[in-house]
Amino acid sequence: MKYNFTSGAELLEKCKELNMTIHELCVEREAELTGISKEEVRDKMRVSLNIMKNAVEKAVQEDIKSMGGLIGGEAKKLTNFRNSSAKTVCGELMNKAMAAAMGTMEVNASMGLIVAAPTAGSCGILPGAIVTIGKEYDIDDETMIDALFTASAIGAIITRNATVSGAEGGCQAETGAAAAMASAGIVEMMGGSQEQAVHAASHCLQNVMGLVCDPIAGLVEVPCQGRNAIGVANALISAELCLSGILNIIPFDETVAAMYKVGKTLPMELRETALGGVAATCTGCSLTNKIFG
């Protein structure tokens, strides 16, 4: 296949060989794989972008309560805090990104419509980053769609060579991969190079390497929502580092391999079984009993 790639190194090599950006190559690859036109490929991604936008807005405008009752209203609280006279610790942009990420998780936990990118448990990070940056700098939808394709390229590589499953690799695989995808998309959206985008993804994975998956009551609510907020911050920080010229000394592909190895060494109690971490605390167990009787 002319446009296929299986690693970060091959992705960059193909971009250079064909004189394409990451998003252009990803669109061509998808068209080649599916047999549909590039226009149809972009139309499908446009649907995903609109779902992301709607999820971000829904949590701020409506009172949402999760199925398990552990989360709901956090996006509104962050937004209200930002709009009050109080001084934000993280600044307005980060507050907006955190609210978007946490709000999307509220929509997910209340059985609303989200895009699992790459998973439902990390669904707030990509929209939290891309949609927020898009709004902040008045970036048009087509450019945001480009960023989502760049993110998709990173996700495809991680999925092929490692995992994005918390049950297999811990939360590092879910929120780490989502942050890596988002950060790469932001770099390209903000005018960075292909190399900077891939290095940003490497930063993100290393920043949360070893992060366990310990959902209380086995629900994708706590600590998942907070980790989506951390994930979007990870994406923004990593993008800023690379855009300023601070690249990673460990190649992306080696980072992906290391993340996978670390995930495989995590005990099963720390891989989405709700038998370890905060899920196994006294409070975590009492909440589980309260939810399930």
Backbone angles phi, psi at 96, to 5 degrees: -65, -45
Assess whether pLDDT exceeds 90 at residue 86.
no
Q: Which of 57-66, 80-89, 172-181 has the highest mean pLDDT?
A: 172-181
What are 127-146's pLDDT values in tens digits?
A: 999 999 999 999 999 999 99
Q: Is the peptide bond before 127 cis (omega within 30 degrees of 0)?
A: no
- The structure's pTM equals 0.98
Assess whether pLDDT exceeds 90 at residue 291.
yes
What are 49-67's pLDDT values in tens digits?
A: 999 999 999 998 998 999 9
The pLDDT value recorded for residue 273 is 98
Q: What is the mean pLDDT of the chain?
A: 97
What are 186-236's pLDDT values in tens digits?
A: 999 999 999 999 999 999 999 999 999 999 999 999 999 999 999 999 999
Segment (H or E) for 20:
none
Assess whether pLDDT exceeds 90 at residue 42.
yes
> DSSP per residue over 34-69, as a string?
H---HHHHHHHHHHHHHHHHHHHHHHHHS----SSS
The pLDDT value recorded for residue 37 is 98
Q: Compute the average pLDDT of residues 11-21.
A: 98
Q: Compute the average pLDDT of residues 260-276.
A: 98
Token readout for 245 is 């010229």
**Alpha-carbon torsion angle 241, 164, 142, 144, nearest 10:** -40
pLDDT band at 85; cut points 50, 70, 90: confident
pLDDT band at 293; cut points 50, 70, 90: confident
Residue 223 to residue 277: CA distance in whole angstroms? 10
Residue 44 to residue 208: CA distance in whole angstroms? 31
Spatial CA neighbour of 126 closest among 66, 192, 189: 189
What are 94-122's pLDDT values in tens digits?
A: 999 999 999 999 999 999 999 999 999 99
Residue 82 to residue 88: CA distance in whole angstroms? 6
Assess whether pLDDT exceeds 90 at residue 74.
yes
The pLDDT value recorded for residue 1 is 86
The pLDDT value recorded for residue 119 is 98
Percent over 90 (pLDDT), the chain = 97
